[in-house]
Structure 1
């Protein structure tokens, strides 16, 4: 049923192997470079798959960000509908449809990788010296892949083997169980560690969650690496290389996304928003020439007044200082009016009505 997928995976590996053979000068399969060309073929199989799936990864990140932005509105809907789960589900679907959010988009990059992983596992599990050609490979290419080594361990070997495959692999010159198990165990540990780190990055990318979602995240954080540690003992070394490379790619990809698109509400997002905010030129906040300043609640102008505004304000103050109520009962000006006028009058022109030198005072001097 999946023969077409097995054929596609083996064809891509064969193309990358041919390229690296050309780079290394067509080395013999038993040499280190011969084994390295097959290891790099598996590594670049991962690169090929992840480049094809990269648009889906971007769509996944955008969907997660949109879901995070909808959380406040979803919380309101939960309070509004209470125990009415059917009404809540319909309201949530309507809201997500209006905003163009698809919750299933978060699974898009993961789903296509599952059949690829299973196909590679199937091909490498059947790989052994002396076997007939597998799918798109010739007999010679199949035998060469089965004998390719990483640090002395064939990529077709597993930590635990049995039957005819075990005898065929241990019959390769220079191969023993010690080498195979040391290399396989190290790769299993690296695979589990990188899986744990990628799960931590996924938690950071998805932002803080509560309740059942938090329990699921914690289960994934510890459960997935633990299950891989157990199953890794039956994986061929080539599959361990594939998984480790896939995790390293995911780590780098998520590090880039977390740096460029930090989760909403995080410290990195606030710092980025502050850095992206355009600076305000203080000159644009100053009043235009001739305009009166807008006074704040404290009574102080919000900006420095211009020369025209100062003159207008001074004239208004003079009028206020010489109001009729400032004079005494006998018509004599008050001290405050005289003082303020004298202080501002200087030795300039004529007096103004209401000042200390007004017409009433001049009449008194004449009668004396």
Structure 2
């Protein structure tokens, strides 16, 4: 039923093996470089799959960010509906549909990796020295892949083996060396899985209730389950899982640095750092404009002179007329009078500002 998938996985591995084999100059099948070519073929199988799935990873990030933005409104719905779980579920589904948010989008990058992992497990489990060609591989290529070694342990071997495969593997390698390499890869696989799950929790931001419990359970249950099942995985599968975890760690580190979750300290620091700086030249007053002084500081000088000062009036005449420089009350010009103690000054000079005198 899944032969087409097994064939596709084996074909991709064969292409990468041919490339690295050519880079190393077609080394002999029993040499270390020949084994390294197969190890790199598994590593770049991971690279190929993850590059194909990268658009789904971007959709996953966008979906998680959208779900985080909906958290305040979901909290209001929980208070509104209380113990009415059915009404709350329908309201949340309506809200997600209105905003175009799909909660299942967070699983998009994980689901396609499951059949790839199972296919590689199936191919490497059937590998054994002297077997006929598997799927798209020839007999010689199958035998070479079965004998390819990582630190002296064949990639087709596992920590615990039985039957004819065990006899064929032990004819080219020791059980002690196989178990040392396999156990080291199992430990690395579990630790990288733990840190990957920690990153996923940091990427998804703070959660509450049942979601927080599920995250905490997966943080410890997944590494523990892999530690038990890893003893039955071929070394090539352990290498695949470890490489996949390392890719995920690097990818999520990049995403968390460039797109920190909303509300986190990193997001706040990034917002402050990206705030545009104020140019001091923009704060400087324009030529001729009144400078702006801060409150409590020295008051600024007026930008423009005040209105024209009032012209002081000269002495009034005894008969109630206007000053000597002005007109009389009936519109006729007043006669010039000689200087007196409080009289006008000489022609062409402005009298001092003494204010108007009271009429007698």
Taking structure 1 as the reference length, the TM-score comes to 0.80
1:360 aligns with 2:338: no
Residue in 2 that maps onto 1:307: 303
SS at match of 2:137: coil
SS at match of 1:307: coil
> Whole-Å Cα distance in 1 between the matches of residues 93 and 135 of structure 2?
45
Deviation at 1:241, TM superposition (A): 0.4
Structure 1 residues 176-225: Cα deviation after superposition (integer angstroms, max 9, x where no partner)? 00100000011111111111111111111011111211111111111111
SS at match of 1:110: coil
Residue in 1 that maps onto 2:26: 26
> Whole-Å Cα distance in 2 between the matches of residues 289 and 98 of structure 1?
55
Q: Does structure 2 retain, via aligned residues, the 8 Å contact 1:289–1:306?
A: no
Deviation at 1:279, TM superposition (A): 2.4
Correspondences of 1:322-337 after superposition (within 5 Å):
none
> Whole-Å Cα distance in 1 between the matches of residues 67 and 352 of structure 2?
76
> Whole-Å Cα distance in 1 between the matches of residues 222 and 157 of structure 2?
23
Residue in 2 that maps onto 1:125: 125
Q: Does structure 2 retain, via aligned residues, the 8 Å contact 1:195–1:247?
A: yes
Q: Does structure 2 retain, via aligned residues, the 8 Å contact 1:290–1:306?
A: no
Computed over aligned residues only, the root mean square deviation of the Cα atoms, in angstroms, reads 2.8
> Whole-Å Cα distance in 1 between the matches of residues 210 and 352 of structure 2?
86
Among 171, 176, 179, the residue aligned to 2:177: 179
> Whole-Å Cα distance in 2 between the matches of residues 311 and 286 of structure 1?
24
Taking structure 2 as the reference length, the TM-score comes to 0.82
Residue in 2 that maps onto 1:56: 56
Residue in 1 that maps onto 2:345: none
By percentage of residues, which structure has more helix? 1
SS at match of 2:112: helix
Correspondences of 1:146-295 after superposition (within 5 Å):
146-172=146-172, 175-281=173-279
Residue in 2 that maps onto 1:40: 40
- Structure 1: gaps of 5 or more residues: 319-347
> Whole-Å Cα distance in 2 between the matches of residues 306 and 239 of structure 1?
82
Q: Does structure 1 retain, via aligned residues, the 8 Å contact 2:293–2:300?
A: no
Structure 1 residues 101-124: Cα deviation after superposition (integer angstroms, max 9, x where no partner)? 111110000000000000000100
> Whole-Å Cα distance in 1 between the matches of residues 18 and 301 of structure 2?
79
Structure 1 residues 259-303: Cα deviation after superposition (integer angstroms, max 9, x where no partner)? 00011111111111112222234665688899999999x8x79x9
